[in-house]
Structure 1
């Protein structure tokens, strides 16, 4: 039995939706074409309710089962936005918008949830209510938080919520999941190092911000190795180093460092923020400069609830026959965490097969994974809310 036969029948139709979304990527909250297509398809399926503009441009749809005696309300979520990347796949359905690309598979996630919606609206083999959340701005825009703030959980009475994400190099249509922390909190920082610039030939007359900033970069590499317990995963990466001049013989007045912090728990995050501030300040001071830290909280860690993970595993086993559960947490971030912070739920990984990595210009979502993804959502609804 792996995949539901009815879903397998309309896999080509779902793939066509996916490829159309791929050809017309849109960013963050600015999703007029994407949301219009999603809403149009949902209406054609005959869902019971559609509400647009949740969290600026999110869509919430409701499908009621044949019975409602259980009183159970389960949420399913998919993300809709693309990335500001120039596509290099050369595919017939490649992006028609230069500099925009579905390089993370959100076109696939949206299409999978649409496929599940079509099946569930047609069959309604469950006792309860399914709430579908089509989310904008997962890629750094805070779309999940915006939908939660707009009442996603309370207005629709969601009791638990589930989502999925494709995973390159996991066999196509296979699943992987673990309880507890699955993905990291993703924060960002900027450190401005200020001093007195001047002529590169006379460094003794300046406070060399380039040297001070370089020392700060090197010192920050010791935050994790010398402050965080070795068995506690954490990452501090300085990813940008920019000065206010490109001249070969000018020492700049200021240098801007940009970077990211990834952690799996709040205590580690607090420690790292404290140490970044202390190390940046004192290191710059040792070189006669001043460092200013601007720390920006990003998404929370993605933490799967124990019970809901078990339900997700059961559905995945029904669909795929086996589920990989001995996986390590990834230090990537996912703003579905904001929804999991409001309601118990689980986030599962769906195999994309051999493909380019996520966020790569040559990445392509594997349409062969669609039936498994759709079937997982549908099976989860039927198993959690049996007739």
Structure 2
């Protein structure tokens, strides 16, 4: 995020101060959520058994659209390619707020042994791969559909308008190379196609399930909450030769090895560590086809994560001359491609603090403030650059399990406890009912 939301947050604290102390506890919410809980669980199981990769969520989006239309909503499809937007007009005048869920799954072979485990496959960039909801997007979609039903059935109690965003490709698109620098997918594609514009959204909320946190607990943090995400691909070109005579060629592998080491100095020597953190990880290194041939080229790919916009900018600015300089020192040539995937996710400070009472209504006695930001990234950050946003986390592991040993999100053994879904539904409902009012535009 290029412009920090902190100054705005300070300015808006007085605007929200009254609402902060006056969250409304509507007596119908708990029984209404309880009445849809079994439907939400069944929806989650259906979606889990039929996962689809990013930009391929055809059946999932059809299911979502069908559910929303049955609730009497205005529904738009093919937003951001396979995304769905539902609009619910409340019975009372008021603001426009959005609730967002992601629908896509991952190219992971499920190993959970659950009775509703996925055995699906999909095509990702021309290759057939196993597919699994290994990050809980099945729960996100089911919970938001549950909240849509609760709010639609009590629309006369809703002040303003609710926009339900069901987004594709949060994890990337199966039909797009991640190194296509001009590709617009996921949240950016939803925004491009007007997801926040018709009607004009003034605040947005999201919930993400997390393994290793107890079921039914909600976690939040004001300000920076998730890292940025940038990908890189470095192609190093040398001169092929026989392995017995390296002096007769130019070795791209040696140059690549030193580039890997040099990249770490961007963090240890170039960024201002008083502002936050950064990490650069090389995930693949490919070169050659035979043990006795020094190849012509080597390729590295990796990821850059930071929790501060200026640190991110420093790394992105200083990486090209560093890579080219090291490559030149070994008489090779390097081609560096940087792809910006997501900025830092920043929760609007004023909105966050104002919504704490709503979180308490959703999970009484089970709401905790995070002490520090988390390391993953989320393209929810793009929405939060456009309008004030709040992204919170929902524990998805039964309390009797060892939180340090459960499989993390993205593991083939990842599971989310069905018992936590009701809390997620309630959180979405309380976001709408207790949104404190119109938020001033960002400077």
Alignment TM-score, normalising by the size of structure 2? 0.83
The question of 1:375 aligning with 2:390 is answered no
Unaligned runs of 5+ in 2: 1-24, 122-129, 174-184, 398-402, 438-443
SS state at 2:377 partner? coil
Distance in 1, matches of 2:361 and 2:264, equals 45
The question of 1:293 aligning with 2:293 is answered no
State whether residues 128 and 385 of structure 1, in contact with CA within 8 Å, keep that contact through their aligned partners in structure 2: no
Please name the residue that 1:170 is paired with.
213
The question of 1:23 aligning with 2:19 is answered no
The question of 1:348 aligning with 2:348 is answered no
Q: CA RMSD in A?
A: 1.7
Please name the residue that 1:80 is paired with.
103
State whether residues 47 and 62 of structure 1, in contact with CA within 8 Å, keep that contact through their aligned partners in structure 2: no
The question of 1:13 aligning with 2:57 is answered no
SS state at 1:4 partner? helix
The question of 1:120 aligning with 2:151 is answered yes
Distance in 2, matches of 1:228 and 1:178, equals 24
State whether residues 29 and 56 of structure 1, in contact with CA within 8 Å, keep that contact through their aligned partners in structure 2: yes
Structure 1 residues 20-99: aligned runs within 5 Å = 20-44=46-70, 46-68=71-93, 70=94, 72-98=95-121, 99=130
Please name the residue that 2:180 is paired with.
none
State whether residues 186 and 298 of structure 1, in contact with CA within 8 Å, keep that contact through their aligned partners in structure 2: yes
Distance in 2, matches of 1:178 and 1:131, equals 24
Distance in 2, matches of 1:379 and 1:41, equals 21
Distance in 2, matches of 1:286 and 1:207, equals 11
User: 1:250, CA displacement in angstroms?
Assistant: 0.7
Distance in 2, matches of 1:10 and 1:377, equals 14
Please name the residue that 1:131 is paired with.
163
Please name the residue that 1:238 is paired with.
282
Q: CA offsets per residue over residues 72-130 of structure 1, 9 Å max, x none? A: 11110000011111111121111131301100000000000001011001112221111
Please name the residue that 2:308 is paired with.
265
More off after superposition, 199-208 vs 317-326: 317-326
The question of 1:337 aligning with 2:381 is answered yes
State whether residues 396 and 420 of structure 2, in contact with CA within 8 Å, keep that contact through their aligned partners in structure 1: yes
Please name the residue that 1:140 is paired with.
172
SS state at 1:294 partner? strand
Equivalent in 356, 360, 363 of residue 411 of structure 2 = 360
The runs of at least 4 consecutive aligned structure 1 residues that moved more than 6 Å come to: none
Structure 1 residues 106-117: aligned runs within 5 Å = 106-117=137-148
Distance in 2, matches of 1:38 and 1:311, equals 30
Distance in 2, matches of 1:92 and 1:295, equals 42
Distance in 1, matches of 2:169 and 2:272, equals 34
Distance in 2, matches of 1:48 and 1:291, equals 53
Unaligned runs of 5+ in 1: none
Q: CA offsets per residue over residues 141-197 of structure 1, 9 Å max, x none? A: 431100100111122211111111111111111111111111111000011111112
Distance in 1, matches of 2:62 and 2:310, equals 42
Q: CA offsets per residue over residues 201-245 of structure 1, 9 Å max, x none? A: 1112121111111111111112101111223211111111001x2
State whether residues 4 and 371 of structure 1, in contact with CA within 8 Å, keep that contact through their aligned partners in structure 2: no
Please name the residue that 2:6 is paired with.
none
Distance in 2, matches of 1:286 and 1:60, equals 53
Structure 1 residues 323-334: aligned runs within 5 Å = 323-334=367-378
State whether residues 177 and 327 of structure 1, in contact with CA within 8 Å, keep that contact through their aligned partners in structure 2: no
State whether residues 19 and 93 of structure 1, in contact with CA within 8 Å, keep that contact through their aligned partners in structure 2: yes
Residues 228/385 of structure 1: CA separation in 2 closer, same or farther (3 Å cut): closer
SS state at 1:340 partner? helix
Alignment TM-score, normalising by the size of structure 1? 0.95
Please name the residue that 2:222 is paired with.
179
More off after superposition, 309-318 vs 180-189: 309-318
More off after superposition, 261-270 vs 203-212: 261-270
SS state at 1:154 partner? coil
Residues 140/134 of structure 1: CA separation in 2 closer, same or farther (3 Å cut): same
User: 1:385, CA displacement in angstroms?
Assistant: 6.7
Q: CA offsets per residue over residues 260-290 of structure 1, 9 Å max, x none? A: 1112233212211232212211112221211
Please name the residue that 2:325 is paired with.
282
